Structure 1
């Protein structure tokens, strides 16, 4: 029988470094979710304000005066979104839309990479089915891969949702003049903002679910690594394989 040490050494390396990598990705999506929820609350606050406000004529004088009929104090507090009489679309809302597109690109790239990595991992893990001493912990190994695979698909879906939300917001003319014209007529803008906010909220929910899936791997990695270390004869007395940890620029994978 072939010496199992070389593949087990690789397994131990993955179980150490990717476990640490996943600890980051069990938290990072939650931080993104909080930011997305804040943006959604800003949009909801503006929509609530615009649904009932009576549009006022533009004020002359200082162009930096706040537009009392368009502003929401909650939106200002949440994201700094301030409509001013002599300005166009608030820079904070422009930044929000740009951020949604940047996040979408990052999630799309990460989701595609992770899905490919998990497809490869699924095949590689099949070789370990021949190792009798790992038989009862192979369920943990498959669960790790499938959790990350599901997280990959959720990241890809989040990317689509955030890109769509940005497209929805781009269809609202967020200049004071155009908003006042809409609010004096069809009053479409509040509904468009609410719809975009709902899409962003759902994307935030999926970020939380992605985090939960990755966090579920923590104990599974420990159980699997302890068994692999026992089989290889390395033990777990040290801090793990030498070398630097994995970069935080890519989503979690286990080879």
Structure 2
């Protein structure tokens, strides 16, 4: 290995190296979760979007039938879509109100939207602080070739936070759209008998939910992109920690 003069101090002081090692260990492991969890969330949202699309398709083609059930729990054949029944258990029953499964779907959309936006806001604040803190690394020669990696990690997480916030906004708006639909069988049949609005609202809500799922998948891909970068960063910190103190103080870098 040949020693060459660096532009400034060689390595960060031990306290800063310890802090960098902590970040490289725990944040890498933390991000391994967030590289997969949003994808799982996206799959659930895609299922919800398909449920709404199936209902909208059914209502766009079906003619409302007068109900004369002998049992108030009979299924409403003209309103129930087999695909929606299989995906989310959505069953319209003649003597009942809004299917409980759709009420749960709307509730979950709002809760997920709130969680996504709160988490995104926190992460954006953390990434701003991380960006500012990373300026302290600029003067150390032994980190000169890793500055791109560190800043890319921050940027990926920052962008993932932005995508999560947008996904939350889409889900909240989808829930707002669904709330405009009266899902009692008698009200829904009345809507479908004239100029149907319910299927059009369901199509729009499904489109927003599907796009939110795409954004969450993209956010997971950004976080996953950090995996190799964290490994490289952690390996460098470990090597610098093991270097003799005299070497670290000379303002040198190693060329292998």
Length-normalised TM-score, structure 2: 0.90
- Listed one character per residue, the Cα deviations across residues 2-45 of structure 1 (whole Å, up to 9, x for unaligned) are 96110110010010000000000000000000000000000000
Mapped to 2, the partners of 1:3 and 1:11 lie a distance apart of 10
Q: Which residue, out of 184, 187, 203, partners 1:178?
A: 187
Mapped to 1, the partners of 2:168 and 2:193 lie a distance apart of 35
Q: Is 1:53 equivalent to 2:53 in the alignment? A: no
Residue 242 (structure 1) aligns with: none
Q: Is 1:109 equivalent to 2:113 in the alignment? A: no
Mapped to 1, the partners of 2:67 and 2:179 lie a distance apart of 23
Alpha-carbon distance change, 232 to 130 in structure 1, aligned in 2, over 3 angstroms: same
Alpha-carbon distance change, 3 to 151 in structure 1, aligned in 2, over 3 angstroms: closer
Q: Which residue, out of 211, 214, 217, partners 1:202?
A: 211
Mapped to 2, the partners of 1:3 and 1:217 lie a distance apart of 22
Residue 96 (structure 2) aligns with: 87
Residue 7 (structure 1) aligns with: 16
Mapped to 2, the partners of 1:29 and 1:197 lie a distance apart of 18
Residue 96 (structure 1) aligns with: 105
Q: Which residue, out of 140, 146, 167, partners 1:137?
A: 146
Q: Is 1:218 equivalent to 2:227 in the alignment? A: yes
Residue 70 (structure 1) aligns with: 79
User: After TM superposition, which residue ranges in structure 1, 4 or more long, deviate above 2 angstroms?
Assistant: none
Q: 1:105, CA displacement in angstroms?
A: 0.6
Mapped to 2, the partners of 1:109 and 1:184 lie a distance apart of 42
Mapped to 2, the partners of 1:82 and 1:64 lie a distance apart of 10
Structure 2 gaps, min length 5: 1-8, 244-256
Length-normalised TM-score, structure 1: 0.90
Mapped to 1, the partners of 2:59 and 2:218 lie a distance apart of 33
Report the aligned-residue RMSD: 1.2
Residue 163 (structure 1) aligns with: 172
- Checking the alignment, whether the CA contact within 8 Å between 2:54 and 2:84 is kept in structure 1 is yes
Alpha-carbon distance change, 127 to 182 in structure 1, aligned in 2, over 3 angstroms: same
Q: In the comparison of the two structures, how many residue pairs are matched?
A: 234
Mapped to 1, the partners of 2:118 and 2:193 lie a distance apart of 42
Mapped to 1, the partners of 2:68 and 2:83 lie a distance apart of 22
Mapped to 2, the partners of 1:13 and 1:168 lie a distance apart of 45
Bigger radius of gyration? 2
- Checking the alignment, whether the CA contact within 8 Å between 2:116 and 2:167 is kept in structure 1 is yes
